[in-house]
Structure 1
Amino acid sequence: MLTLREFLHRLPKMELHLHLEGAILPATAADLARKNGVTLPPHEQVEDLYHYQDLKEFLDIYTAVSDSVITADDYRRITYEMLESCAANNARYVEFFFSPQVHFKNGVTFDTMIDGIAAGMDDAKADFSIDSRIVPGVNRELGPAAGEELLDMILARKEERLIGIGLDFLEAPFPPEPYANLFERARKAGLNVTAHAGESGPAVHISGSIDALGVNRIDHGYHVVTDPVLMQRCKDLGTLFTVCPSTAAVTSPWHDLTPDHPIKQMADFGLRIMINSDDPPMFGTDLGLEYIKCAELMGFTPADFRRAALDSIDGSWLDDSEKASLSREWAAEIDMLIAELQPA
C-alpha cells in the first residue's frame, strides 16, 4: 500500500509553468556570478538571495540572478539542472519559459541562449529521458515594439522546440491588450500562446488575455474567483490555468494555502487546472513539494490530482496523437496508483 506522499511522488507529471531563470539554484547563481564578474545583491549566505515580500521584489532578484548567465555553457548548465530537478519529481514532459529580453542588455545574443538551452535539453533527455520544449516570455514592461523584435528572433531561429510565447513580468500597470497584434502574428506563424494574468492583476487581465491575445492557457489566474461570470466562461471554454501554490502565497493577495485558497476554489468549480513549481529554488520548493502542499494544506484528493494530470496533457502543446496516447497511459497508471493507496 502507498502512503499519500508516495502516491504523489509516483504520479506522472508535467511542468507547463516553469521559468528557466527562476530555476537557477542559489549556489549556481553565486558560482556563475563569480565566474562572470557579476555583483549580486548583498547577502551573507547564497540562500539569502531568495527573499522577497511581493512580485516586484521578486522580479528585481530574478533580474539580478539572470545577469549572471552569460555564455552558452551557462545556459546549458542551468537548463540541465532545472530538468534534472523536474525528472527527480517524476515530471516527464516540460514546457518552460525563459526571459531573453533580460539578457540582451548584457550583450548575450538570442542564438547563444538557444544554443546553450538546446544543449542542456539534449543532455537531460539523454540522462533522464525527459522531453522538453522552450517558450520565450515577452516582458510586458518593455512594450510591444520590443516584443515584436523578440518574435523576429524566434521565427528566424527555426528551432522546432521553440513552440510558443508567453506574456510575463509585472502585471500592473501593463494590461494584455497592447500585445494583441504581436500575439496574432505569433499565432499566424504557428506558435502557441499563453499569458500570465490574474496573479497580482485583476480578473479583467484574464478576459483581456483570452479576447485580445487569443490564449487558451492562463498562467496563474487566481483573480478569476472574483468574477463568477468569468469563471463560468473559462469553464465553458476549457481554459487551462497553470497554478503555482508557493509563488501564489507571495505574489498574489492570497497568502494562506488553505482549502479556501483560489487554487482549490478553481478546482472545485470545475476549472481546468494543473500544478507547477514556477520558480522553485527562489521560493524554497520543487514540483513534488507543490503537490504535497496541494494535498496537505489545500485538501486536494487523489481524484483531483488525476484530473489535474490529465488536464495538463490536454492543455499542453503536444500534438493530438501524443496527447491521446499519453492520456490513455497516464489514466491507467494513475488508476493503479489510486488502487494502491492506503485508506485515509
Structure 2
Amino acid sequence: MTDLIQKLPKAEIHIHLEGAILPGTAMELAKKNGVTLPDCERVEDLYSYDNLMEFLAVYGAISDSIVTVDDFRRIAYEMLQSAADNGCRYMEFFISPHAHKDVPFARQFEGIRKGMADAETDFSIVSRIIPGMNRELGPAAGEEYLDEVLANRGDDVIGLGLDYNEAPFPPEPFADVFARAAQAGLHLTAHAGESGPAAYIAGSLDALKVERIDHGYNIVEDPALIARCRDEGIAFTCCPSTTKYTTSWRDLSAPDHPIRRMKEAGLAVTINSDDPPMFATDLGREFELAHADLGFSLQDLKVAILTGLDASWLDETTKRQWRAEWVDEIDTALSN
C-alpha cells in the first residue's frame, strides 16, 4: 500500500514551509545561526508538543533559526524533495515571513525562490507560494504584511492565507485586508474551524470571501453549514495527523472523526500533510492514514487527489490537462 500510494500523482495545497523543516536541519541551522532551541536529548525529540499553542512555540523557535538566503533555499528545496518522493507533482505552500524576526522579506523570497527553482529542475515538482497572515497580530499588522508581500510579489505568489491560533481571533476583522488582496489578484484561503468554532468557517466565507477552507473540522457541529459548503463546492484542506495534536479528535479510527464525517457528508475533502516532520508524517503517510484509519477506499483516495487538483489555483488549461493525465495514471495504478 505504501508503494502504491507513493506512486499516485498528487497536489499538496496545505503545507507550511516553516513546519516542513527536518529536525536535523533545524538543529544544524540553529547552531550555525546562534539560536537556542527547546531542550531535547535527541534530534527526534525536538518536535514534541500536545496542543496547538505548544506547537506554535516550537514553530516560532525553529523560524528564528532560518536567517540567510541559503537557509531559505535549503528548507524550500528539502520540503519539495520530500513531497516529490511521495508523488507530489504540484504544491501550494504557506510561508510565514513575519516569523523570521529582522530577516527582510526580500531575502526570504530570494532563498525560497532558489529552492523552488532547484527542486523543479531536479524533481519536476511545480510550486507556488501562499503567504500566511498571523491573525494574532491583528488587522493593522495584516495591512503592513500585505504591503510587504505585494512589494515582493512575483507570478509564484498565488494567494493569501490566514493562520496561527484561531481563538479568540475571528476572521471578520481581516475583511478589508483580504478585500485588498483580492483586488491585487491574489486567491484567498483561511485556517478556520480547527481550534475555532464552525462560525469561523462561515465568517471566513462571508467576510473574507475565501475560496477554500484550511482544516475546517468543526463544521461537523453545524449541519446547515455542511449543506451550504457542499452545495457551493467549498474545498477543505484536511490534514489527518495534525488532528491528533491540535484538536480534541485524537483517534483517527473513531467513527466520529471529523474528516471521516466530512467525507461521508459529501464535502470536497482533500488530504494534505500540513507540517510533516513536526507531526512525524509525510504526504504519502497522510493518504495511508486516510485509507487505513479514516475509512477512505482507494476510489475515495482518487477522488481526494482529483479534488486537491481541482481546488488548486493552477490555471484552468493546465488543470484540465493534468486531470485527464492523472485519471489515467491513477486508474492504471489501482487496477494493477
1:233 aligns with 2:228: yes
2:35 to 19, 34, 38: 38
Contact 2:214 / 2:238 at 8 angstroms: preserved in 1?
yes
Paired AA for residue 144 in structure 1: P
Unaligned runs of 5+ in 1: none
Query: How far off its partner does 1:202 sit?
Result: 0.5
1:290 to 274, 286, 309: 286
Partner of 1:177: 172
Distance 2:19 2:91 in 1: 15
Partner of 2:72: 75
Paired AA for residue 30 in structure 1: M
Runs of 4+ in 1 over 6 A off after TM superposition: none
Q: Which moved more, 1:120-129 or 1:250-259?
A: 250-259
Please give the residue correspondences for 1:16-165 in structure 2 after superposition, counting only pairs within 5 Å. 16-103=13-100, 105=101, 107-165=102-160
Please give the residue correspondences for 1:2-21 in structure 2 after superposition, counting only pairs within 5 Å. 4-21=1-18
Distance 2:335 2:39 in 1: 51
Distance 1:290 1:15 in 2: 11
Contact 2:93 / 2:130 at 8 angstroms: preserved in 1?
yes
Query: How far off its partner does 1:5 sit?
Result: 3.1
Partner of 1:276: 272
1:247 to 242, 250, 258: 242
Distance 2:61 2:253 in 1: 32
Contact 1:135 / 1:166 at 8 angstroms: preserved in 2?
yes
Contact 1:259 / 1:299 at 8 angstroms: preserved in 2?
no
Distance 2:294 2:47 in 1: 25
Task: With the length of structure 1 as denominator, give the TM-score of the two structures.
Answer: 0.96
Query: How far off its partner does 1:309 sit?
Result: 1.0
**1:314-338 CA deviation, whole Å, 9 max, x = no partner?**
1000011111111111111111122
1:262 aligns with 2:258: yes
Contact 2:187 / 2:211 at 8 angstroms: preserved in 1?
no
**1:17-39 CA deviation, whole Å, 9 max, x = no partner?**
00000001111011001000111
Query: How far off its partner does 1:259 sit?
Result: 5.3
**1:105-156 CA deviation, whole Å, 9 max, x = no partner?**
3x10000000000000011011101000011100000011111111111212
**1:213-257 CA deviation, whole Å, 9 max, x = no partner?**
001210000001111000000001100000000011110111100
Contact 1:63 / 1:102 at 8 angstroms: preserved in 2?
yes
Query: How far off its partner does 1:262 sit?
Result: 0.8
User: What is the aligned-residue identity percentage?
Assistant: 57
Distance 2:254 2:231 in 1: 24
Distance 1:229 1:7 in 2: 37
Aligned to 1:266, the other structure's residue is in SS state helix
Distance 2:187 2:128 in 1: 12
Aligned to 1:218, the other structure's residue is in SS state strand
Please give the residue correspondences for 1:197-236 in structure 2 after superposition, counting only pairs within 5 Å. 197-236=192-231
Distance 1:297 1:27 in 2: 29
Paired AA for residue 290 in structure 1: E
Query: How far off its partner does 1:89 sit?
Result: 0.2
Distance 2:77 2:152 in 1: 21
Aligned to 2:248, the other structure's residue is in SS state coil
Aligned to 1:143, the other structure's residue is in SS state helix
Aligned to 2:207, the other structure's residue is in SS state helix
Distance 2:224 2:167 in 1: 22
Paired AA for residue 212 in structure 2: R
Distance 2:104 2:326 in 1: 39
Query: How far off its partner does 1:6 sit?
Result: 2.9
Distance 1:202 1:192 in 2: 23
Distance 2:303 2:46 in 1: 36
Distance 1:332 1:265 in 2: 29
**1:296-327 CA deviation, whole Å, 9 max, x = no partner?**
11121011011111111110000111111111
Query: How far off its partner does 1:7 sit?
Result: 2.4
Contact 1:224 / 1:230 at 8 angstroms: preserved in 2?
yes
Unaligned runs of 5+ in 2: none
Distance 2:294 2:182 in 1: 36
Distance 1:157 1:84 in 2: 25
Partner of 2:312: 316
Contact 2:6 / 2:85 at 8 angstroms: preserved in 1?
no
Distance 1:326 1:80 in 2: 23
Contact 2:134 / 2:164 at 8 angstroms: preserved in 1?
yes
